[in-house]
Amino acid sequence: MDTDILKYQIGIDMIPMTGSVNDKRLIAYSGEGKAVLKEKAKTLTKIPGIGSIIAKEIVNQKVLDRAAEEVDFVVKHGIRAIFYLDEDYPKRLFQCDDGPIVLFIKGNDGVDLNQSKVISVVGTRSITDYGRAICEELIRGLAQRGHNPIVVSGLAYGVDVCAHRAALKEGFQTVAVLGHGLDRLYPATHWSISKEIAETGALVTDFPSKTPFERNNFIKRNRIIAGLADATIVVESALKGGSLITADMAVSYNREVLAIPGNAGQKYSQGCNMLIKTNKAALIETAEDIEFQLGWESPKKAKVPKQTTLFPVLSAEEQAVLDALKENGQEPIDLLCLKTKMPVAKVSSLLLNLEFAGLVVSKPGKVFAIKNLYV
């Protein structure tokens, strides 16, 4: 870890009134973190979204002293700080325009936020017995069918902590996304489970230490919960609440939203029912439904594919897409775009050609797979 570079990266994130989108513009125009904070005000004001007031804040470099304190905190407590251009930055989150510039991660170094299966589970803080039972059953069902996804949630009361506990029970890695820095915890009563989570999974935040508890920060962190995962599962929710905000964010990121239906008259079923009714979410009741919606195959049911010997002549771009699919047998289209470094429209066209050629099959959840010939 180069602490001097990290100081400037964190410093950009601390510039007042910019936000992640403008921070990324600053870096795109200036080249790297140190250059941003050494740029002249006149040059900065030519960057879209950067006015004279923000330019003055950047030139004053008041953020660097605070950024240096944060670097010391990160080093002292063994926290990983990942910049959004680093190789190990979560690829799913990189695709989100408002994804954080810097992620702070405390936990097991073996946690791979880029693994093939990541789901988010969210819902009301006032979880019912029905919600608790079905949340536990969904995660248990995934384990029984041979899956091992990372389970992401927000460590709040209710559905969040239920999902974390169920994941830990089944031996899954689980990630808690916090709405504050890693020097404190809210709610404090979850301190014990936060330690369990960090042993095998991770605590994640984009807020530096000394960040106070503020409602808007918890809403802001929801974009990370939605952005880290292939799908957001809403277990229970009223018609208003943070879980519906997370679901809307997932939709805006072109990710799947799955919801558990409930009784029409139940307050904490109304949000899920509304998501299903308005086609924002697919209805699920079991782990098998999650498999179907995300195009997962149960490892315990997987068949051994028979190698095909005759292939039509492919273009270099078609071969590149096919090679990317062969790595895991199937991939969502957004990861194919990342692997091939081609835009969505181009990859979609190439996948259609491969489907016509009988080499690729489309699955629910915008997932594409090699078309296997089974014995």
Give the tokens for residue 55: 């330019």
pLDDT at 372 over 70: no
* Tens digits of residue pLDDT in 2-18: 888 899 899 888 887 78
Q: Provide the pLDDT for residue 24.
A: 86
| Boundary-marking domain end, from 294, 316, 351 | 294
How many CA atoms are closer than 13 Å to the CA of 223, on its beta-carbon side? 17
Q: How confident is the model at residue 177 (pLDDT cuts 50, 70, 90)?
A: very high
Supply the CATH number for residue 69's domain. 1.10.150.20
Residue where a domain terminates, one of 232, 263, 294: 294
Residue 306's pLDDT is 46
Residue at 265 is within a domain: yes
Query: Above 50 in pLDDT, residue 315?
Result: yes
Can you give the pLDDT at residue 144?
Answer: 94
pLDDT band at 301 (very low <50, low <70, confident <90, very high): low
Residue 256 CA to residue 333 CA, distance in Å, equals: 12
- Same domain assignment for residues 2 and 62: yes
Q: What is the pLDDT of residue 297?
A: 85
**pLDDT surpassing 90 at residue 304:** no
The answer, yes or no, to whether the previous bond of 187 is cis (omega within 30 of 0) is yes
282: left (phi over 0), alpha (psi -120 to 50) or beta: beta
Could you tell me the residue range of the domain that residue 370 belongs to? Answer: 305-374
Q: Report the mean per-residue pLDDT for the chain.
A: 89
The answer on 350 and 229 residing in a single domain is: no
CA angle 272, 273, 275 (to 5 degrees): 65
Can you give the pLDDT at residue 169?
97
- Nearby residues of 298 by Cβ (< 8 Å), 6 or more positions away: 145, 146, 147, 291
Taking the C-alpha atoms of residue 326 and residue 329, their distance in angstroms, rounded to an integer, is 5
Would you state the pLDDT for residue 311?
A: 54
Tokens of 346: 């181009």
Q: Give 3-state DSSP helix, strand, coil % of the chain, rounded to 5.
A: 45, 15, 40
pLDDT digit string, tens, across residues 73-91: 999 999 999 999 898 999 9
49: confidence class by pLDDT, cuts 50, 70, 90: confident
Report in angstroms the alpha-carbon separations of 295 from 35, 83, 148, 289.
Answer: 44, 31, 15, 10
Residues 138 and 277 in one domain: yes
Do residue 226 and residue 127 come from a single domain? yes
Of 21-35, 276-290, 337-351, where does the model show the most confidence?
276-290
Q: How much is the pLDDT for 355?
A: 84
**pLDDT exceeds cutoff 60 at 307:** no
Are 279 and 334 contained in the same domain? no
**Over the stretch 143-152, which tens digit does the pLDDT of each residue have?**
999 999 999 9
Mean pLDDT (whole number) for 29-58: 80
- Name the β-bridge partners of 234: 122, 259
The average pLDDT across 26-30 equals: 82
Confidence of residue 201 (pLDDT cuts 50, 70, 90): very high
